[in-house]
């Protein structure tokens, strides 16, 4: 159902570097790019993630209650994505680990513009 999600940025150049490196961890590459927009995906026909400078010319702002979840293959990949986001200048919003839902493992972070994301996977429930 979801084709892609777009997040606003106030510095497209820095955001491109952040997301090129972060999303490479998932095997994602750029699928679309213009002067004010870039989107990544892991393969054609799969959902993607985009960043954009707002078309109304106003500053990008963070949505209250908005979060993008990046699906990882394993808890180790969740850990890697979370660590990579922080190493690239993102901020911690919750260390990786098991969550309330049995078998749900996630780590939360914010990008350089303050957009909230998480990396997650489902593990076997014991």
Per-residue model confidence as pLDDT tens digits over 51-61: 999 999 999 99
In whole angstroms, what is the distance from residue 45 CA to residue 95 CA?
31
User: Which pTM was predicted?
Assistant: 0.92
CATH code of the domain in which 30 resides: 3.10.180.10
Q: How many distinct structural domains can be found in the chain?
A: 1
Residues of the chain by 3-state class (helix, strand, coil), percent to 5:
20, 35, 45
Residue 112 covered by a domain: yes
Residue 12 covered by a domain: yes
Residue 58 covered by a domain: no
What's the pLDDT tens digit per position in 20-76? 999 999 999 999 999 999 999 999 999 999 999 999 999 999 998 999 999 999 999
Structure tokens at 108: 């939360």
Residue 59 covered by a domain: no
**Exposed, middle or buried: residue 37 (CB in 10 Å: 0-12, 13-18, 19+)?**
middle
- Cβ atoms within 10 Å, residue 30: 15
Find the angle CA(28)-CA(2)-CA(12) to the nearest 5 degrees: 50
| Residue 126 pLDDT exceeds 90 | no
CB-based contacts of 126, cutoff 8 Å, min separation 6: none
Structure tokens at 9: 């940025």
Structure tokens at 61: 């702002």
Residue 109 covered by a domain: yes
Confidence of residue 14 (pLDDT cuts 50, 70, 90): very high
pLDDT of res. 56: 94
Residue 94 covered by a domain: yes
Residue 107 covered by a domain: yes
Structure tokens at 87: 């190493």
Residue 60 covered by a domain: no
Domain enclosing residue 90, as ranges: 4-53+66-122
pLDDT of res. 59: 95
């Amino acid at each position: 159902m979801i084709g892609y999600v777009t997040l606003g940025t106030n510095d497209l150049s820095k955001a491109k570097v952040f997301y090129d490196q972060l999303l490479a961890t998932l095997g994602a590459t750029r699928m679309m790019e213009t002067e004010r927009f870039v989107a990544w995906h892991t393969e054609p026909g799969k959902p993607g993630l985009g960043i954009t400078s707002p078309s109304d010319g106003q500053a990008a702002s963070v949505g209250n209650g908005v979060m993008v979840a990046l699906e990882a293959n394993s808890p180790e990949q969740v850990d890697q994505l979370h660590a990579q986001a922080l190493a690239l200048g993102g901020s911690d919003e919750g260390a990786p680990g098991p969550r309330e839902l049995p078998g749900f493992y996630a780590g939360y972070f914010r990008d350089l513009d303050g957009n909230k994301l998480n990396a997650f996977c489902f593990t076997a429930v014991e």
